[in-house]
Structure 1
């Protein structure tokens, strides 16, 4: 049976992927594995911002399961305040989780993928990696980093038959927005469900697609932003600063 690792497994999208996917050993990493009982038999509790503990956990997984077929880097979080309201420690912590932990996990499992000449890495980023808005400075920067890392790594491992998929979502109805409960109400019908996002990811486990930009309305907005950046910034200042 193939092996799939999902980080941030208590996240709503991760749990929905775990519910939908079939035919894999589901290996789930979370800060609190007690909440994952019944979802998988292979649970690993680890604080992914603790690099030494994370590396040790990944080594345990490799020793037990061998090469990983699908790695889904789902762990991440965001806080939305004006830039000057963040402390340096808060910014570093966000990058530790959203960027450095993702790179650490990838570094841990990639050598076996290269040796086997097969594997897929799915990095959950954000449409904010294309369209940043006010009060998302640190979060958007971290997701720009995830997308940039993914695009560069895709080229490095192309000849090793390893696929890299970046998932950029707009607002999703998850506990991610609990700290800002009015946000989902403001974005209304543009928010998508975890079922929708998970279904798209599961449908692309075996494809060569390089990016998923969800939903389609925001994908169009992303393309518009690429072509008309000044106009887009003017529009986002007026209509999309909802956090």
Structure 2
């Protein structure tokens, strides 16, 4: 696939920022979007076009897609990367926050995909790259809502892949494991804020320690590792259906497939349970 026009959401930091830079390096005309426009100023140095987009605001994403089509006439790759992890015991998380997490992680992804598909179908080519997580295949205590959104992204992507195959459009799922981004800090802070002083406090404290460890160099991988997988998905003649990165992510998914539910429960509780 020749380099074309790519739209990357959640480009203000971490995986999205690294992906926008990598795709631009490979010759794509890249549009990086996020709610925090000020955080994307550095992308301009790499030739990335940036503007504000809120994936939970239909007017925002509609006008954004129309702008790209007006300026470029096409969108060849959509990288649905915007998302976050909001943690806390299900009992403690307000249902409004649960809905917001689905709005960002699932419905924003789906709506943006709806908007680009007519144009990809017309050109009979395109790539939809959905950034899920290994968390779409396993689970953690205090992560019910986050994992529910990623399980949803996995199922949505599988159905979408079959729908779009006759139209020449590839759907690829990216499943990052432990990556050094601000994601872990947000997840652990939300767990402590919502459940730290409740009956689930010891679990919240343990989860925060696990994520603190994951952010250390040598434990978590660089966001560029994920960006390289996304770039491969965007350019390969026949991309894989799923890319789990880094190697540790593949190992965790293998363990999940091998173990029974009870055995995996024991393993997770050993890692995240109160000590």
Report the TM-score when normalising by structure 2: 0.82
Q: In the alignment, which of 193, 218, 229 is matched to residue 200 of structure 1?
A: 229
User: How far apart are residue 96 of structure 1 and its match?
Assistant: 0.5
Whether the 8 Å contact between 2:184 and 2:211 is mirrored in structure 1 is yes
| Structure 2: gaps (5+ residues) | 189-207
Distance in 2 (CA, whole Å) between partners of 1:229 and 1:67 is 46
2:123 alignment counterpart: 116
Shift of 1:241: 5.3
State the SS of the aligned residue for 2:235.
coil
**Gapped regions of structure 1 (runs ≥ 5):** none
Show the counterpart of 1:152: 159
* Deviant stretches of 4+, over 6 Å: none
| Range 108-117 or range 227-236, more displaced | 227-236
Report the CA distance shift for 1:156/1:165 in structure 2 as closer, same or farther (over 3 A): same
Q: Identify which range, 189-198 or 96-105, moves more after superposition.
A: 189-198
Match of 1:80, SS?
coil
Distance 2:273 2:172 in 1: 28
Larger radius of gyration: 2
Deviates more, 1:104-113 or 1:214-223: 214-223
Cα root mean square deviation, aligned: 1.9
- Structure 2 counterpart of 1:80: 87
Q: Deviations over 1:171-198 (max 9, x none)?
A: 2101112233644443465421112221
Mean Cα displacement is larger for which, 36-45 or 147-156?
36-45
For 2:266, the equivalent position in structure 1 comes to: 234
- When normalised by structure 1's length, the TM-score is 0.92
Please, which of 207, 220, 227 is the counterpart of residue 251 of structure 2? 220
Aligned residues: 242
